[in-house]
Amino acid sequence: MGYIYIKKEAKVSKPRPKLHPQHKKIIAFSFLIIGSLFFLSAVIPILQYQIEYSIKFNQIISPLSVNSSLSGSILGESGTDFTQLSNWFIDGQTNLSDNSTLQKTKYTISIPKLKIDNAVVEVGSLDLKKSLIQYPQTALPGQFGSPVVFGHSVLPQFFNPKSYLTIFSTLYKLKQSDQILINFDNVEYKYLVEEMYEVLPADLSVLEQRFDGRYLTLITCTPPGTYLRRLVIKARIVDF
């Protein structure tokens, strides 16, 4: 039995076109420009905050009211998940983690100047991605003392008043006499901003209660997008 052999033409692979050296330079330069833009988009808002706003706030560098035994209780380390309020504290973490028996109380807060409308505040919660959080064992709205409300912040260009991840990103834009409205148990309370200042992450004086009046305390990290310091907004209740 005979065989027939058919010669098959060898496939010649075409060489891949090489980039012209000039094109390589253009691509490398484009990546450099894009990287620089991303870097500047993060750095410029922080520098702007430092120049335009931070110098206006009183900075408490060595707070007298901080108990030395608690001086390391609020974390300031990068890489920590600050959307969990329990990670803001170490020694105070027991008060936050043992809240299973705490009756969950909710109310809403509005800040007209920042277009924050009826944001939910939950007492004793932990997840700042889901709501603003009032630190437990601080006064409820309308009572003597001060509710201490924590909120998350990011770079201000990502601010969205409907997102709890970004809701306090422009808190630094408030000024004295700006309104903060709270609706608690179907009663509306109006507070006016009196004081704004920055503290170090280890300063627990922000949780202190003064019973000579009815106050409100709002806290977030600052400059926005960092965890270097805490911005504290103090407001006092007024009649409508």
In a domain, 20, yes or no: no
Q: What are residue 132's DSSP bridge partners?
A: 121
Neighbours of 132 (CB within 10 A): 23
Tell me the DSSP string of 47-60: HHHHHHTGGGSEEE
Residue 29 has pLDDT above 70, yes or no: no
The kind and range of the H/E element at 148 are strand 148-150
Residue 62 has pLDDT above 70, yes or no: no
pLDDT at 202: 82
What's the rounded Cα separation, in Å, for the pair 86 and 186? 29
pLDDT tens figures, 116-136: 999 999 998 889 999 999 999
pLDDT tens figures, 170-218: 999 999 999 999 999 999 999 999 999 999 888 888 999 999 999 999 9
**Residue-number span of the structural domain to which 196 is assigned:** 53-238
In a domain, 129, yes or no: yes
Q: Rounded to the nearest 5 degrees, what angle is found at the Cα of 89, between the Cα atoms of 170 and 180?
A: 30
In a domain, 6, yes or no: no
Mean pLDDT of 45-74: 52
Residue 49 has pLDDT above 60, yes or no: yes
State phi, psi for 190 to the nearest 5 degrees: -115, 130
Closest C-alpha among 222, 4, 218 to residue 113:
218
- Percentage of the chain beyond pLDDT 70 is 61
What's the rounded Cα separation, in Å, for the pair 162 and 224? 17
In a domain, 1, yes or no: no
Instruction: Give the domain CATH number at 71.
Output: 2.40.260.10
pLDDT band, residue 61 (cuts 50/70/90): very low
What's the total number of domains in the chain? Answer: 1
In a domain, 42, yes or no: no
In a domain, 158, yes or no: yes
What's the rounded Cα separation, in Å, for the pair 149 and 128? 11
